[in-house]
Structure 1
Amino acid sequence: MTLAAGGALFVAMSNPAAAAEENNKGVPSGAPSSGTCITEITGATGCFQPYGDVIYIKDTSLDGYSVYVKWQNEIRNSSGTWHSYRSGKCTSDRGKGDWAKCDKDFYEASSTNALGGKGSRIKLTACVASIGDDECATNSWLSNNG
């Protein structure tokens, strides 16, 4: 897009490689049937279920704070180098004991992806949205073999 203002020429360019962060409010659900959960943080549990690419969040404390999971997705290019591909947040304000989920659609680790390589991994950070600094715990990278 080109705009002219007062004789000056401005050119606005977009970066197709920079995707917007995906922020979703989790929908009510039951506990995940399988997957890997983060249990290190007092007040929140976050899980990833590779089959179906579902991110879960559960509030585990009666403290009145909402909870969320930040997630990152990286894929490999054809040379085998990891690149940040997608990221986002799945939030829940449902209260203690309730699960919420956000359905995503990630590349599988064994499928050829948008960068021409094979490999997809996910990292979760479960957080309690407390006043001031949020309290969070992060897991190591998980291969998406769903």
Structure 2
Amino acid sequence: MTTSSKRWVRAGLVATAAIAGVVAAAPAAGAAGADYMEICQSAKVSCQNGAKVSGPGSYDRCGTTTAAASYTQVCVEYDGDVVYVKDGSADGYSSFGKVSSTSGTAYRFCRNPHGAGTWAKCDFDWSEAADKQVYGGVKLSYTNFNDQYLFSFTNG
């Protein structure tokens, strides 16, 4: 093999390794990046960026926050472990739904990063028997958010 050929092979291997590193570093679909919110760094918290949907599918209950939490609407499908979040205000902040639980993962955040008037859907896996509380809110910054209690449920 000539010196020129060896360079082309080496360059090809370096490019392949670089592409593989980028693919390996990409987060899973719906997964929240490290810049989502500081609380998401905890092992007891699950954070997702919701998939954009036209509206809630099947759901058991919905609630809407007041102006203090930007009129965020959150709907929950109890048995499907699904959370829907509507961003109710063109304030530049992402809306989210939060489900807290008395067992397993303490908090599950479903963020709607798609803008005012849109809906997002997150699929979680929670204990059916645990008591859960639902909140709606807005992400103000990496370390700060505002949320309001909406309702509770147990589906076990």
Q: TM-score, normalised by structure 2?
A: 0.60
The equivalent position to 2:120 in structure 1, one of 100, 109, 112, is: 100
Larger strand proportion of the pair: 1
Per-residue Cα deviation, 1:102-140 (whole angstroms, up to 9, x for no partner): 1012232xxxxxxxxxx3222111112236953321124
The equivalent position to 1:121 in structure 2, one of 125, 131, 134, is: 131
Contact 1:37 1:45 in 2 (8 A): yes
Contact 2:82 2:122 in 1 (8 A): yes
- 1: distance between equivalents of 2:60 and 2:97? 15
**Where in structure 1 are there 5+ consecutive unaligned residues?**
1-17, 75-83, 109-118
Q: Which amino acid aligns with 2:49?
A: K
The equivalent position to 1:85 in structure 2, one of 104, 113, 123, is: 104
The percentage of counterpart residues that share the same residue type is 29
2:47 is equivalent to residue 23 of structure 1: yes
Contact 2:85 2:120 in 1 (8 A): yes
How many residues align? The count is: 109
Output the aligned Cα RMSD. Answer: 2.3
Q: TM-score, normalised by structure 1?
A: 0.64
Contact 1:41 1:126 in 2 (8 A): no
- What SS does the aligned partner of 2:110 have? strand
**Where in structure 2 are there 5+ consecutive unaligned residues?**
1-41
Higher relative contact order structure (alpha carbons within 8 Å, sequence separation ≥ 6): 1
- 2: distance between equivalents of 1:32 and 1:127? 21
Counterpart residue number, 1:73: 101
Larger helix proportion of the pair: 2
